[in-house]
Chains A and B, each alone.
Chain A
């Protein structure tokens, strides 16, 4: 059973860069069988897809966040990471990493999720 675990600071100051890492176990990112996504959930609210990466480094981002987001992959460590720059209080959310199952044109769903990590943006 694949497992994902987010890690990173729980508190980030406004205007700084949020950085999180997702460690994958019981599956290999480099196998190329899946994409790997970041998703966030604002307190008490819905879910927002941030972007995904493939093992070869190909990425695709939510257009509304694209200018501030960078997702990278380290296949040697079986990890992928999120950087979100110029954060504000509006970026306070629980951040999830998720394995992303691609099955055809525009067909994606998130079949395994990490437990999530709360990131608060505050001075």
Chain B
């Protein structure tokens, strides 16, 4: 059971913009802890996509952006491409006993 809730799926046509929400609480995102995002392509390990809310590692497309506000965070993908079809997970710290370094429930992005 994750303390960070994401929509199970989002979809969009090529070229469109999609957003993925990550909803937490006052013990994690709402407490000011940073949010990080990972992309998991089918059959592969997760890959760091966004760190510390809105920073992209070298080599990650600027079509990906992150934001955080209140008790939630969001990942936006602009100019959606077929290669973006993957699972996306948010991650943060939780100050309760729920596991400290917690991941979101995950969102499957489908390119129509």
Q: Chain A residues in contact with chain B, CB under 8 A?
A: 37, 45-49, 60, 62-64, 96, 101, 103, 106-116
Nearest A residue to B36, CB-CB: A109
Is A109 in contact with B51, judged by CB distance below 8 angstroms?
yes
Bitwise interface map of B from 23 to 38 toward A, beta carbon under 8 Å scored 1, else 0: 0000000000110101
A103 and B47 CA atoms in complex are apart in Å by 18
Cross-chain pair count, CB within 8 angstroms: 66
Could you list 29 A-B pairs, sorted by A, with CB under 8 Å? A46-B89, A46-B103, A46-B104, A46-B105, A46-B106, A47-B38, A47-B46, A47-B103, A48-B99, A49-B100, A49-B101, A49-B102, A62-B100, A63-B97, A63-B98, A106-B33, A106-B93, A107-B34, A109-B36, A109-B51, A109-B52, A110-B38, A110-B46, A111-B48, A111-B51, A112-B48, A113-B45, A113-B47, A115-B44
CA distance A37 to B33 in the complex (A): 19
A109 pairs with B91, CB closer than 8 A: yes
Q: Which residue of A lies closest to B2 (CB)?
A: A46
| Interface SS of chain B | loop
Cross-chain contact A113 with B46 (CB below 8 angstroms): yes
Residues of A within 8 A of B2 (CB): 46
Q: Are B57 and A111 in contact (CB under 8 A)?
A: yes
Pairwise interchain contact A114-B45, C-beta atoms closer than 8 A: yes
CA gap between A103 and B34 in the complex, in Å: 11
A116 → chain B closest CB, angstroms: 5
- Whether the pair A96, B93 counts as a contact (CB closer than 8 A) is no
Contact check, B48 vs A110: say whether CB atoms are below 8 A apart. yes
Instruction: Indicate the member of B38, B44, B45 with the most A CB atoms within 10 Å.
Output: B45
CB <8 Å contact, B97 and A101: no
A8 CB, min distance to chain B CBs, angstroms: 16
Q: A45 contacts which chain B residues (CB < 8 A)?
A: 106
